[in-house]
Amino acid sequence: MKRLAALVAAAALCVSLAGCAGGGSQQGGQEQSQPQQQEQPSAQESPEEPVAGLVDPETGSIGPVILFDPYASGIHHASITVSGYQPMEVEIYSSTAPETSALFCKLVRKGFYNGQHISSLMPGLYAGISATSKKGNNEVVAEFEEAGFADNHIGLKRGVIAMGRVSDEGDTQGPQIIKSDASKLYIFLTNASYLDGTYAGFAKITQGMATLDKICEDVQKVSPLKEDGSIARKKSAPVIKSVELED
């Protein structure tokens, strides 16, 4: 009887240990499965935000998915600093001239205008910036009335900045194709409403026109002007220290 009782007790102990082992194995299985659950993406995670930017005008490449160009709409601000003078504050009207403004802002971000000169001056009309073209296409569709763009109502008044023009005659028998050229900028020193609709105005100096007047005055003291308005002595042409976006 004692031997039978001992066998029964041993069997009960084995059953108990087996139950514990099974529970431990199940728990261990749960612990091993946790890393697999963590590797699976959460349904609440949001996808990566698309990168905004411009289509490359030479290759047509857009790189990452682009939803919008932040500088092709709204109003933005920048500053222009000419070496030796106080900065001039600029307001950019991107909603009125979106492609013109976006190209200008793109070049500003690249530092395109830094180190360039105010190279021409027509007293009582404009101060001109002719930047040296660097690698890349600095031409853009013309956003002014003469080119068939009717939405640009920025008059060429004192303080307004307009993008210059480049003409591609192509087929001499056909109509002239007119584009704007961001390598040429004009800052109007006076109202020139008779030129409205012939250049793409896209921005305006809101603070610092007195600074620009002083720059033009100083230029005329040290260098003669050619018939086309260009400054005869290049070393006397004021240097643009920086053009920087503020927002």
How many residues are recorded in the chain?
247
User: What Å distances lie between residue 42 and 33, 47, 49, 190, CA to CA?
Assistant: 16, 11, 17, 61
Q: Please give the structure tokens belonging to residue 203.
A: 């921005």
Contacts with 125 (C-beta within 8 Å, 6 or more apart), sequence order: 188, 189, 190, 192
Contacts with 237 (C-beta within 8 Å, 6 or more apart), sequence order: 117, 118, 119, 219, 223, 231
Distance CA 54, CA 102 (A): 8
Q: How confident is the model at residue 217 (pLDDT cuts 50, 70, 90)?
A: very high
Contacts with 199 (C-beta within 8 Å, 6 or more apart), sequence order: 144, 156, 162, 163, 164, 165, 180, 186
Mean per-residue pLDDT for 39-51? 40
pLDDT score of 151: 93
Q: Please give the structure tokens belonging to residue 239.
A: 């240097």
pLDDT at 138 over 50: yes
Q: Which of 238, 127, 150 is nearest to 200 (CA)?
A: 150
Distance CA 128, CA 230 (A): 8
Distance CA 188, CA 159 (A): 5
Give the three-class secondary structure for 28: helix
Q: What is Dmax (Cα atoms) for the chain?
A: 131
pLDDT at 176 over 70: no
Q: Please give the structure tokens belonging to residue 11.
A: 């069997």
The rounded mean pLDDT for the chain is 78
Give the three-class secondary structure for 152: coil
Q: Please give the structure tokens belonging to residue 158.
A: 């004192």
Question: How many Cα atoms sit within 13 Å of 68 on the Cβ side?
Answer: 9
**Is the distance from CB of 185 to CB of 135 less than 8 angstroms?**
no
Distance CA 26, CA 28 (A): 5
**Is the distance from CB of 26 to CB of 13 less than 8 angstroms?**
no
Mean per-residue pLDDT for 5-9? 45
Give the three-class secondary structure for 112: coil
- What does the pLDDT look like over 48-78, one tens digit per residue? 433 344 444 444 444 333 347 899 999 999 9
Q: How confident is the model at residue 244 (pLDDT cuts 50, 70, 90)?
A: very high
